[in-house]
Structure 1
Amino acid sequence: MVVLLSLPLQGCRKKQDEVKIPWKTEQLAEQIDQTRKTEAYKLPAMPKEKSSLQKYWKALDYALENQHASSPSRTLTKKEAREDTTALFAMLKELYGCYAYFNQSDAFAQAEEAVLQAIERIRELDYTAYRSCIRTHLRFLEDQHFLIDQTPLKRPMVTFTMQDTFEKRKDGFYFKDKRVTAIDEETKLETVLKEDALHAGRYVYYQKTNEQKTEVTLHFAKETAQRQKVLPLAAHPSDKAILEKEIQGVPYVHTARMFYAKREQEKADAFLKTAEKFKDSKAAILDLRGNSGGDLLVAERWYRSFSGTVKGGHMQTLLKLPLENPLLEEKFHAEDFAQSLSDLRKKEAWKQLDELHAVVERRSEKQIKNDTLLFVLQDDQTASAAEHLIDRLHSLDHVVFIGTPTAGMLRGSSFLTVYLKHSSLEVSFGNMLTQFSDSYAKEYYGIEPDIWTNDASALVEQLLTQ
């Protein structure tokens, strides 16, 4: 169990009026602001679906009746497997928030039929074979929140780097005085070589991919090549729930996740208090590296407290839930959900589309004034609700994102975990669909930083003292 920790600050604290932001750092923030002001992201249209409230309640009843884990069935008859399959796809049709988005060309019906046919072909049907079959035929779901036995359908992407750096000259990139024409198959070197923020004139290889790499091939101008070792970037897990301190007199917080206000009120409140502290500071550091996500409403409250506005962001979210129906409260009354329905209703600006769907749009037409120079640290493990906070902060002036692309857990959400009646196969999925421009963010790939680095802590120190 993680423990709430607030580090005592050593020595004399600098008052905020004594904190001096280096001119070069202020200039960098201004340049980033200007770049953002020229960017416009067009959101794709929300998919439309016809839903029946009666069928929704029936599917929800099945899900709520099968909330509790039991030992996976070692033996499974084909009749039981067929019944579980039919129940699974019926439940997804009514409850899964991304169903319409992924149901191009009747993809779910085709997947269900493929599973049913595979069941008939399998000679020795057991839990493992059935799970493999379901995973295989649902792999078209590009949603990292969708889990089978607590495992995503596809492996997450990883950012790789190498220890040796590159140099940029007038005629291209050089590696140890040899002009590079390609790295593996990539000829647009700017996509994988990023300026080294800590060492002027040097460039670092960064590539986020779902491939398992240990080496890459550097291709040179004189038709020669060499293999070069690459490494996955180090993770930055937090061994404390919340770590607060100061760096060069600037307040800093590192939070392990977005704590659920209903279950972890003390930790959620402690994190929310940092928003007010940051708002009153000349500069602040929000470290979201390793933040696995959690309560989207807590992330939203932090943003509103810090920014003083409900505006901002470049995404829109569709919720598949009869929010205003009193029967929903009755059905959820006995369930221990991490978020309360009242919070979900009150703390988001939902626009009701019909009895089953509501939408919230976060379209920022222009940058929003913000006086605090905020450094946001991010990495491959910055996920879900933490990414939604990053999206909101992208609309504010004087916010600089440092690190590597986020986890890319953006499209779906977490809502229900269901154990299929006969097999006890564990299926987890959400009731939200979040839409975003591919030029801004991608599922699995995430949201890119303003400044790429594997040592965000050292870079922030440099930015505050240069």
Structure 2
Amino acid sequence: MRRLTGLMLCLLLLLSACGTAGPVLTPTPSPAPVPLPSFEDVLTDSNARHADMVDRHLVEDLSPYLCEFSGGDLKAAGFTEEELAALVQYDALYSARTTLTAEEADRDVDLLFRLFRYCFALYEYYGGRKAFDAARAAVEKDLAGQRFITAGRLEEILFTRLSFITDGHSSLNGRPFTPRQRLYYSEEAAFLPDGAGGYVIDGVLPVRLTAVNGGTDLEHWIVPSISPGGRLVWYPGTLAPSGDPAVEAVYTLEDGELNLTLAEAQPYTGYERTPAFSASWDGVPTVTMRDFTDADIRNPFIATGAPLAEEPLAILDLRGNGGGMLSTASAWLYAYGCGGLAPFCGDIGVFLSTRATSYIKAHDTPRRLPFLNYLGTPEQYHDKFMTDYRRRGNYSTLHQSEAVERAEGGGLLFVLTDSASMSCAEHLAAALHGRENTIFVGTNTKGALLGDPGVLTVLPHSGIRVQLSVSLYLYYDGETFDETVGFHPDLWVGGDSLARVEALISHYELQQE
């Protein structure tokens, strides 16, 4: 008993000592939760960004970009008929290993720069004679002293010296003169805006992002997106030239680093390419249009415009749409209530017609077969342009129509794009930027808004295929739209953007019963 009492006394003394030794410890408070972004906030931001594009386009005078012809140039073909015939040998096969003599290379270069003068509507836009003479001199300097050169090496020289041509339609062997910028991104981590201009990592504890690759320009390395579950998130992402190696990036957080590999987002190919047009009115009304060259689907597509405009929520899928007839897109826009193409800035353009372009178009029937349903039979098409070649001269015309007010209100429209959406699809996108409550989802478009499919020729000695635009469409100034980038989406998705949009609609309960 005495022993037990002693033990209890020791225990009481020990507890008393513990209670008085040192300060009382309190747990560290958790970081304040970050408010989740709402869909309404994203829609408001998108409307503001689109309105800013509309307000800033202001390309009021295209007359400096007219291709002027005077004196003997008014009637000159620019080429002998034998040279023109050599330029339309479309059966010729290109090989980078083909060896040219110095004289053959010089003749191809001479033909190319005459093509720029007589067959390129953007000749003055890119600096005219001064710019192209300087480029030619640089090419000739690169060739000087070489007795022989391969077609591949000549092509490399031309790309180097003509890199100021950003037009997405104009190309050498199908490759634009300037590399296109593409989305490089990763979904290994996700971020949320912190409400104070920064970002925190999406997780249990909102840890702040402080830098990327040592810099604090976080917007350059973050893209708004949609998670697989439909939540709005911000993924690591940036733009880089297509075909570049994956981008290595270090995302520095308050408590450590994330080393991420940003890979180029390839166009999603899981969707059906045929039929090129479809419309579904079950669930969320969805119209798919992948080809504006097919005359058979023109009217069914246009017929969806009016009923789609009445829907409070709809999807327009333009992924993989390589363009076609502008009249089809314009007619759909009228039906949809947007007043045709580019309603906010008018239909503005410079159009080039020369004897050389007429001759080339007359012989370029195989490439233009999809358009012949609109223009007549191949024989009629050939005869028309050969008549123009023989009887007409060279001229450049300017067209500009009245602008229409920005379309306000209307239902919510999701427009899906990818890096294969180009040309006419981008003209349609330009017009829809003038309509409120339109959200673009996917990746940036290809970047082929400035020109058109134009004319295709083959340099006779090297076999290099040259495509040049014969129209210039200038909806935006150079700061508002970058041809090498195309249109930015409002929400970037590198995979199946349709599935992500459907998930977003479900998550935020956007569909009205």
Rounded to whole Å, the distance in 1 between the matches of 2:437 and 2:481 is 20
Counterpart for residue 392 of structure 1: 431
3-state DSSP of counterpart to 2:208: strand
Aligned residue runs from structure 1 range 262-281, under 5 A: 264-281=294-311
Tell me if the contact between 1:405 and 1:449 (Cα under 8 Å) persists in the aligned partners: yes
Rounded to whole Å, the distance in 2 between the matches of 1:213 and 1:453 is 17
CA shift, 1:89, in A, is 0.4
3-state DSSP of counterpart to 2:308: helix
- 1:121-154 CA distances to partner (integer Å, 9 max, x unpaired)? 2243232232222222222212222211222233
The aligned amino acid for 2:486 is G
1:301 aligns with 2:331: yes
CA shift, 1:162, in A, is 1.5
TM score, norm. by length of structure 1: 0.78
When structure 1 is superposed on structure 2, of 332-341 and 293-302 the one drifting more is 332-341
Rounded to whole Å, the distance in 1 between the matches of 2:373 and 2:279 is 35
1:255 paired residue among 284, 289, 295: 289
CA shift, 1:286, in A, is 0.9
Aligned residue runs from structure 1 range 129-208, under 5 A: 129-163=153-187, 164-169=189-194, 172-175=198-201, 178-184=207-213, 186-198=215-227, 202-208=233-239
The aligned amino acid for 1:180 is L
The aligned amino acid for 2:68 is K
CA shift, 1:419, in A, is 1.0
TM score, norm. by length of structure 2: 0.72
Tell me if the contact between 2:348 and 2:473 (Cα under 8 Å) persists in the aligned partners: yes
Tell me if the contact between 1:278 and 1:372 (Cα under 8 Å) persists in the aligned partners: no
Check 1:131–1:32 CA distance in 2 against 1; reply closer, same or farther (3 A cut): closer
CA shift, 1:441, in A, is 1.9
Counterpart for residue 379 of structure 1: 418
- 1:302-324 CA distances to partner (integer Å, 9 max, x unpaired)? 2233226246144764333249x
Rounded to whole Å, the distance in 2 between the matches of 1:362 and 1:313 is 11
Among all aligned residue pairs of Structure 1 and Structure 2, give the percentage whose two residues are the same amino acid: 21
Rounded to whole Å, the distance in 2 between the matches of 1:189 and 1:154 is 26
When structure 1 is superposed on structure 2, of 168-177 and 80-89 the one drifting more is 168-177
Rounded to whole Å, the distance in 2 between the matches of 1:56 and 1:444 is 34
Q: CA RMSD in A?
A: 3.7
Counterpart for residue 56 of structure 2: 41
1:54 aligns with 2:78: no
3-state DSSP of counterpart to 2:488: coil
Larger radius of gyration: 2
CA shift, 1:329, in A, is 7.2
Rounded to whole Å, the distance in 2 between the matches of 1:152 and 1:183 is 31
Rounded to whole Å, the distance in 1 between the matches of 2:312 and 2:257 is 49
2:267 paired residue among 232, 235, 240: 235
Q: Which runs of 5+ in 2 are unaligned?
A: 1-37, 377-392
Rounded to whole Å, the distance in 2 between the matches of 1:129 and 1:229 is 33
Counterpart for residue 486 of structure 2: 446
Tell me if the contact between 2:99 and 2:148 (Cα under 8 Å) persists in the aligned partners: no
The aligned amino acid for 1:232 is E
Tell me if the contact between 2:453 and 2:468 (Cα under 8 Å) persists in the aligned partners: yes
3-state DSSP of counterpart to 2:249: strand
CA shift, 1:369, in A, is 4.8
Counterpart for residue 457 of structure 1: 498
Check 1:34–1:145 CA distance in 2 against 1; reply closer, same or farther (3 A cut): closer
Check 1:301–1:140 CA distance in 2 against 1; reply closer, same or farther (3 A cut): same
Counterpart for residue 89 of structure 2: 68
Rounded to whole Å, the distance in 2 between the matches of 1:254 and 1:98 is 32
Q: Which runs of 5+ in 1 are unaligned?
A: 1-23, 345-353
CA shift, 1:33, in A, is 4.3
Tell me if the contact between 1:289 and 1:378 (Cα under 8 Å) persists in the aligned partners: yes
Check 1:184–1:247 CA distance in 2 against 1; reply closer, same or farther (3 A cut): farther
Rounded to whole Å, the distance in 2 between the matches of 1:140 and 1:282 is 44
Rounded to whole Å, the distance in 2 between the matches of 1:161 and 1:97 is 36
Matched residue count? 427
